[in-house]
Amino acid sequence: MRLRPLTLCVALSAVLLGAACADYEAASYDDGARDWDAPYEEERPELFLNVHPSDANAKLLPQTRAIPQGTDEWTDLSLELAPSIQITGSVRGWDATPHFDITVPGESTPIAANVAAFVPNTVQSGGKATQAKDGAFEFELPAGADYVLRVIPTDEQELPFLVQTDLEFTTNTEIELDVGYGVGVFGTVVDNTGNGIAGVEVQLIEETTLTEGVHTETDSTGYYFLRAMPGSYTVIFAGDAGSGVPTTEQTIVIEEQEHVEMNISFGPIETVTVEGDLLDDQNEGLDDVTVRFTALSLAEHAATNTLTVETDTDRNGYYATKLLPGHYVVEFIPPYDDGLSPAKKLIQVGNTTQLASLGATSLNALTTLEGTVLSPAKQSVSGVTVTAQQTGFDGYTYSTSTGADGSFTLPLAEGELQITLTPSNPSDGAVTHFESRATAELPNEFLLAAGQTVSGTVFFEGNAVAYALMDITDASGQLLASTLTDADGAFSVTVDTDMVLVPGDDSDTGSEKTEITDTGAADTGMEDTGDGDTGIEDTGSKD
Amino acid sequence: MPPEIVHATPGDTITLASTSQKVFVVADDPDGDEIVFLWSLSESGLIGDAVPSGPPFQGSQIELTHDAALNGQVVTCTFSDGYTEYQTKSWTLEVL
């Protein structure tokens, strides 16, 4: 995410923060604030216009049009959509037997597979699942170029997957696909005692297109076998997180006719059961709260090993799961409609105990943000959609609209947020984005940026494409604005391509609960202040 | 009078063939009341990160990621003006 230059952030925030931030207020608004009428000094960034036709044009498919970086003209755009074309064909594979010998091709046969075509970084895609009886598929795509086609066998795990790039589909096309039989990728996944680990999911990811390919699971001896075509791959070994088995990845280059043996040792899988309770402010247990443990480091495993374990609370608010020793971030995420804020802790899981308790954690109720939205000319603006989305956790979003006096009241979760203001009338200002740190004191006046207008008309074969959803994003995928075309296919929206930062204290995680809990003796360099009886040490929290 | 869908993502099935897919509804309330939208998945429960779609219209959109766990699930948008019976619109998901 690109932020405004720091001086601009501070100056604008001074206005927004008002009396609550005297230091910032001391910076002169007139001297330092953004001059909304000044020409846009920076080169305009690349924009992506994603058009999602509605049921008003059900035969059209979602499509993306890019406005190249540096293009001065963002208005009166004419977006001509491509027609939908049919892709038909069938998929075959080889019943290679025995699996290790590619010189024994077996029999060519139709296979069950997922066939998909897409243009990377756009909304253009289509696909179909085939059945083994005939391997046939038929699906639609918007006509165009730069397609990636991938075929991933779904039943025959020993078959390779197929990726083709730079394809152009301009008319109805029939294609016959054969995934071949590739070469073997095999090995064993073991723990530190050499015992095979069953149930580890092994998956190949093609490195050029990041296509997630075929996957299999290790058997009871830890053995796995896959096939792949020549190329560069990342191999993901994903253990059963609920049993404390981590995930790791390796890269391989597969040459023609050369099998690859890759054996993996996960090290010790000696877990600690971590338990606790989630309570509301009446000390009642909270049901169905997601508890997500993400390892920052594992004490006895390589840095390439990761572990994310997710569980949820029962009706008494109790949760328990198995973790490897190490440092974790724990997120407590209540259901969306519970009216509670999520919380976060840092914990350390030691290796000298088999059971550790995090004790009781309480979740705070949502807070309320009251504010007023002002135009760039500092007039209150009605009908502005105010959306606040949590940063991190599950990205919960809360929305409301400003009333006749420009004021709004919005339930709000604690923590870092991204707030988006979307005027109903583009002339009132741009869709404006604010990013606040957990510790930031949110302003009660929100100023719309002037921004730049993006407008145009969407056509198909000379006819207007009415009531299509238009998403405008930047190169990072950040949603800048969203609107609908009208009955004439026209759209107009004012976007601000920068993010206004509501500053907070970088050294503090603020309202997020931050605790260091040491459950044992692992020497990880973190301060251990004692209390080995319970396996719990709380070195401070910020509620 | 309850709100009604005036436009939405077409069809009854949504195929997730690549990274993600937008699903949206646009509704109108004959009485001019504010409409509240809630999205859910048949197995995964509530979706909390819906955002409005295209003011000045009343609408809502979600972005579904290419996640095998979504295959076969039904995504439903439930919406209401707070005074009349709630309305729903659903799609079945196919993940490739």
Q: Is residue A414 within 8 Å of A398, Cβ to Cβ?
A: no
Shortest distance, CA B5 to any CA of chain A (angstroms): 11
* Residues A446, A437: Cα–Cα separation, whole Å: 16
Number of structural domains in chain B:
1
Q: Which of A117, A128, A387 is the closest to B51 by Cβ? A: A387
* Pair (A481, A373) in one structural domain: yes
Which residues in chain B touch residue A128, judged by CB atoms under 8 angstroms apart? Answer: 15, 96
Q: Give A487: exposed, middle or buried? Use CB within 10 Å, 0-12, 13-18, 19+.
A: exposed
Whether B56 sits inside 8 A of A383 (CB atoms) is yes
Report yes or no on A487 lying in a domain. yes
Does the structure's ipTM exceed the value 0.85?
yes
Backbone φ and ψ for A9, nearest 5 degrees, come out as -60, -50
Shortest distance, CA B78 to any CA of chain A (angstroms): 13
Rg of chain A in Å (alpha carbons)? 28
Cβ neighbours of residue A365 closer than 8 Å, sequence gap 6 or more: A281, A339, A340, A341
Shortest distance, CA B66 to any CA of chain A (angstroms): 11
Nearest to B94 by CA among B78, B77, B72: B72
* Pair (A356, A386) in one structural domain: no
Whether A394 sits inside 8 A of B21 (CB atoms) is no
Widest distance between CA atoms in chain B? 42
Which residues in chain A touch residue B80, judged by CB atoms under 8 angstroms apart? Answer: none
How far, CA to CA in Å, does A99 sit from each of A148, A151, A153, A163, A177? 28, 20, 16, 21, 21
Strands across the sheet containing A469-474 = A63-67, A47-52, A469-474, A479-484
- Specify the pLDDT at position A379: 95
For chain A, which ranges sit under pLDDT 70? 1-42, 96-105, 156-157, 438-440, 499-543
* Pair (A289, A349) in one structural domain: yes
Q: Which of B7, B53, B57 is the closest to A55 by Cβ? A: B7
Whether B55 sits inside 8 A of A389 (CB atoms) is no
Report yes or no on A36 lying in a domain. no
Whether B56 sits inside 8 A of A424 (CB atoms) is yes
pLDDT tens digit string along B5-52? 999 999 999 999 977 899 999 999 988 888 999 999 999 888 988 888
Strands across the sheet containing A162-169 = A125-129, A113-118, A144-153, A162-169
Of A178, A213, A239, the residue at which a domain comes to its end is A178
* Pair (A163, A282) in one structural domain: no
Residue of B nearest to A481 (CA): B54
Which residues in chain B touch residue A116, judged by CB atoms under 8 angstroms apart? Answer: 17-18, 96
Which residues in chain B touch residue A58, judged by CB atoms under 8 angstroms apart? Answer: 10-11
Whether B26 sits inside 8 A of A62 (CB atoms) is no
Angle at A373 between CA A372 and CA A374, to 5 degrees: 115
Burial A4-43 (b: 16+ CB within 10 A, else e): beeebbbbbbbbbbeeebeebeebeeeebbbeeeeeeeee
Q: Provide the percentage of residues in chain B whose pLDDT is more than 90.
A: 70
Shortest distance, CA B51 to any CA of chain A (angstroms): 7
Number of structural domains in chain A:
4
* Pair (A252, A277) in one structural domain: no
Whether B61 sits inside 8 A of A469 (CB atoms) is yes
* Pair (A486, A373) in one structural domain: yes
- Specify the pLDDT at position A3: 29
Which residues in chain A touch residue B21, judged by CB atoms under 8 angstroms apart? Answer: 62, 123, 125
* Pair (A209, A279) in one structural domain: no
Q: How many CA atoms lie within 13 A of A253 on its CB side?
A: 1
Which residues in chain A touch residue B48, judged by CB atoms under 8 angstroms apart? Answer: 336, 394-397
pLDDT tens digit string along A100-153? 555 556 788 899 999 999 999 899 999 999 998 999 999 999 999 999 999 999
Whether B54 sits inside 8 A of A54 (CB atoms) is no
How far, CA to CA in Å, does A148 sit from each of A43, A121, A187, A347, B21? 31, 11, 30, 43, 17
- Considering chain A, what is the average pLDDT of its residues? 82
Which residues in chain A touch residue B17, judged by CB atoms under 8 angstroms apart? Answer: 116-118, 125-127, 139
Cβ neighbours of residue A300 closer than 8 Å, sequence gap 6 or more: A267, A268, A324, A325, A351
Of A265, A292, A323, the residue at which a domain comes to its end is A265
Q: Which amino acid is at A135?
A: G
Report yes or no on A33 lying in a domain. no
What is the SS3 assignment for A337? helix
* Pair (A191, A245) in one structural domain: yes
The CA-based dihedral angle spanning residues A224, A227, A231, A237, taken in that order and rounded to the nearest 10 degrees: -20
Shortest distance, CA A288 to any CA of chain B (angstroms): 11
Q: Which of A58, A117, A123 is the closest to B10 by Cβ? A: A58
Residue of A nearest to B37 (CA): A399
* Residues A48, A120: Cα–Cα separation, whole Å: 13
- Specify the pLDDT at position A77: 95
- Specify the pLDDT at position A115: 97
- Domain CATH for B53: 2.60.40.10
Q: Which of A52, A117, A397 is the closest to B50 by Cβ? A: A397
* Pair (A492, A395) in one structural domain: yes
pTM of the predicted protein model = 0.80
Whether B54 sits inside 8 A of A482 (CB atoms) is yes
- pLDDT-derived band of residue B61, with 50, 70 and 90 as boundaries? very high
Eight-state DSSP code of residue B42: T
| Strands A355-362, A272-279: pairing kind | parallel
Whether A116 sits inside 8 A of B17 (CB atoms) is yes
* Residues A403, A385: Cα–Cα separation, whole Å: 10
Shortest distance, CA A11 to any CA of chain B (angstroms): 29
What is the SS3 assignment for A8? helix
Whether B24 sits inside 8 A of A127 (CB atoms) is no
Structural domain for A307, as ranges: 272-364+511-518
- Domain CATH for A210: 2.60.40.10
Average pLDDT for residues B55-74, to the nearest whole number? 90
Average pLDDT for residues B57-61, to the nearest whole number? 90
Report yes or no on A159 lying in a domain. yes
- Domain CATH for A159: 2.60.40.1120
Which residues in chain B touch residue A120, judged by CB atoms under 8 angstroms apart? Answer: 18
Whether A469 sits inside 8 A of B22 (CB atoms) is yes
Shortest distance, CA A151 to any CA of chain B (angstroms): 9
Size of the A and B interface in Cβ pairs below 8 Å: 111
* Pair (A260, A295) in one structural domain: no
Of A232, A265, A298, the residue at which a domain comes to its end is A265
Q: Is residue A289 within 8 Å of A334, Cβ to Cβ?
A: yes
* Pair (A301, A252) in one structural domain: no
Interface test with B, best of A61, A115, A119, A125 (most B CBs within 10 A): A125
Rg of chain B in Å (alpha carbons)? 13
Task: Kindly give the residue spans of alpha helices, DSSP state H, lying in A51-207.
Answer: none
Q: Give B43: exposed, middle or buried? Use CB within 10 Å, 0-12, 13-18, 19+.
A: exposed
Q: Is residue A468 within 8 Å of A485, Cβ to Cβ?
A: yes
- Specify the pLDDT at position B41: 96
Q: Which of B6, B18, B53 is the closest to A125 by Cβ? A: B18
* Pair (A227, A172) in one structural domain: no
Shortest distance, CA A521 to any CA of chain B (angstroms): 38
Structural domain for B68, as ranges: 4-95
Which residues in chain B touch residue A50, judged by CB atoms under 8 angstroms apart? Answer: 22
